[in-house]
Amino acid sequence: MINVTKTFLPSQEEYQAILKTAWDSGWITNRGVLVLELEKKIKNYLGVAHLIATTNGTLPLQIAIKALKLKGEIITTPFSYVASTASIIWENCNPVFVDIHPEYLTIDETKIESAITPKTTAILATHVFGNPCHVEAIEALAKKHQLKVIYDGAHAFGVTYNGQSIFNYGNVSTCSFHSTKLFHTAEGGAMFCNDEAVFNKLFFAHNFGHDGPLDFFGLGINAKMSEMQAAMGLAMLPYMDTILNERKKVIDFYNTHLDFSKLQSIKIRENTRWNYSYYPLIFQSEEKLLQIEKVLNDYQIIPRRYFYPSLNTIKYVKGKKMPISESIASRILCLPLFVGLHQTDLEKIIAIINKELC
């Protein structure tokens, strides 16, 4: 079976050698030496000032909303994983959807201002498939209307825009280190922030609000990363160049051999160094997508419909119509992409798609 992704794993020996530090000390959580080491190495690798490693990639969104004291309406994208919208609602705010750009697939910055009301307190935008939002336009609008900006960068580890980490933008940026991501800690995530005062709020909030062992800075929750997770991240980091290079080879092969006369691929924003996180194809119709998906499945090839359905359509949201997002969501399919995907398998996938497109 060829799945849409396959978790990259270092050797057990490498992982256990790193984990031995925690094993010997008996310190396996509560920000042990491995978490601190991982945070330092990620900062150096990405070129960011502040980050907090967390136990998953969703809690950073919730903590950011809470730490920035957001209320009322938060403008967001309908084309994302459900965590972005769910986090807004979980924190008792209301998502206000703005449709997406038909090529970049990120929130359409030209439509944001018309959605701003006196109740709007923030913009929560997703760097979809690691493709940066138009951050300059978004942050200009935020400044004009005195709004906060949170970027969901779940897919964006290693992405740079205008020569710097994509996580250097916004009041808070977040990332997922889930096992399906190109960099992972099995399960995990992080939040990034350039403002030291906001960073301190995020830090206290991710550890129950503790200010030392006996005092409390304020309200908090448990979002701490464990030493087991950090050990996986430390074992993964040395392989990042290999992971990026191998994924690029797969994408280059797809780009060279697929028949794009009846297909659309994502357009990567200018001045971006992308991380090859996903390979989405947009078909001319949902019927054609379902037809090709079925044939691929018959050959034990399992792509995935990221992101379906458009989030404005889910029952607990009741959002307005978002024509572009709804159309794209119904026609987009992510093809298998991972280190170790053999050329013979790629040739099979491509041959099936090209044949069924005819």
Residue-wise pLDDT for 244-280, tens only, equals: 999 999 999 999 999 999 999 999 999 999 999 999 9
pLDDT at 228: 97
The first and second tokens of residue 85, run together, are 């919208």
| Mean predicted confidence (pLDDT) in 68-86 | 98
Share of the chain above pLDDT 90, in %: 96
pTM: 0.96
| Mean predicted confidence (pLDDT) in 167-178 | 98
CB contact set of 246 (below 8 Å; sequence gap of 6+): 339, 340
- Compute the distance between CA of residue 118 and CA of residue 59 in angstroms, rounded to an integer: 27
pLDDT at 209: 86
| Secondary structure (DSSP) of 174-202 | EEE--TTSSS--SS-EEEE-S-HHHHHHH
| Whether the predicted pLDDT of 172 surpasses 80 | yes
User: 52 with 59: CB under 8 angstroms?
Assistant: no
| Whether the predicted pLDDT of 338 surpasses 90 | yes
DSSP code of 337?
-
| Mean predicted confidence (pLDDT) in 107-119 | 98
CB contact set of 153 (below 8 Å; sequence gap of 6+): 126, 127, 130, 159, 166, 167, 173, 174, 175, 192
Domains, in order of start, for the chain: 2-238 (3.40.640.10), 239-357 (3.90.1150.10)
| Whether the predicted pLDDT of 212 surpasses 90 | no
DSSP code of 109?
G
For residue 107, give the 3-state DSSP assignment. Answer: strand
CB atoms within 10 A of CB 256: 8
- Compute the distance between CA of residue 28 and CA of residue 17 in angstroms, rounded to an integer: 14
Residue-wise pLDDT for 43-73, tens only, equals: 999 999 999 999 999 999 999 999 999 999 9
